Amino acid sequence: MKKKYQNGFFIFGIIVLGIMVTQLDFAEVWQGLQHAGYWFFAVVALWAFLYIFNTATWYIIIRSQEKKPEDRVRIPFWWLYKVSVSGFALNYATPGGLMGGEPYRIMELKPKIGVERATSSVVLFVMTHIFSHFWFWLLSIPLFVFTQPTTTFMAIMLSLAGFFCLSAIWFFLSGYKKGLAVRVMRLLGYIPGLRKWADRYVAENAEQLQNIDRQIAALHNQDPKTFFTAVSSELLCRIFSALEVYFILLVLMPDANYLNCILIISFTTLFANMLFFMPLQLGGREGGFLMSVSGLGLTASAGIFVALIVRVRELIWTAIGLLLIKCFKQSDTEKQD
């Protein structure tokens, strides 16, 4: 990636991060960190481990596209790890989520494998990342039914959530089979103000979009084992991410239940992703924690404490990811332009 673009991503992320930090109540944060003690460091370190799953998924997808000898390019796993962490940091800091991290990943990977493979691998990773969320939410429904008392209201809500998740899974499976690039660009044409641009873009880049769609479809249609491995890696990341809530709740209650933590993460991420347009899902994640812990019989103060620690952890990893943008060696970036 050219240095001016790299600096642009870095400066934008730092500005947004600074704005988000100013929204914190520093006295409350300090009190929460003192209460969490060494468990806070365990929470921060956990995400260094969880990002390995995300990177492994993307790495598997990139390798699955090596159909010809000339497609085989050495991409160091830990270089991809740094790009992945930085991409998530930009997503956290960007309203709308995918507006920052995904273009950055494509631009970093493009010099190594070309724009079409870079774009299709990033699109496939995003699809797999979101696809695993729907499976996680769907699997959490029977977990709730078997472990928690279920009222009529909750039964109705769980049924609606199940229908929503199954519909989304069907949509993504259809996208995996046929590709999504052309379909998404055509859908953009229905948005007021974007129709002319979308139609012109599809007309000018029809061949490239079709190639991207063929590469997307190849993962599911021609390599189902790799597809299953990629989805499983992301799903395991979702399950292990509940360790974060578990570590935090151990501060408040030594008898914390890990299954409850999975449900808390499931309900919280579902609610937070409904507010995807907000930077770092400000307010949405906190509201999700409050609703999920109260729904499982925990106190509101426990939900506030969990939300506070998670928010600080997110800010720390956002800062780490933004700093990693500037940590690439020259040989990895501008020398390839």
Find, among 275, 302, 273, the residue nearest to 289 by Cα: 302
Confidence at residue 46, expressed as pLDDT on a 0 to 100 scale: 96
Widest pairwise Cα distance in the chain: 62
pTM of the model: 0.80
Give pLDDT, residue 330: 43
**Separation of alpha carbons 131 and 326, rounded Å:** 31
What count of other Cβ atoms lies within 10 Å of the Cβ of residue 328? Answer: 17
Which residues in the chain land under pLDDT 50?
A: 97-98, 276-284, 330-337
pLDDT at 137 (0 to 100): 93
Give yes or no for a contact between 10 and 325, defined as CB atoms under 8 angstroms apart. yes
The answer to whether 284 touches 309, Cβ cutoff 8 Å, is no
Dist CA 256 CA 276 (whole Å)? 29
How many CB atoms sit inside 10 A of residue 34's CB?
Answer: 9
Model pLDDT for residues 201-228, shown as the tens digit of each residue: 777 777 777 877 777 777 777 778 888 9
pLDDT digits (tens, 9 = 90+) for 316-329: 898 999 888 877 55
Phi, psi of 95 (to 5 degrees): -60, 130
With b meaning 16 or more CB within 10 Å and e meaning fewer, what string describes 9-19?
A: bbeebbebbee
d(CA 212, CA 103): 15
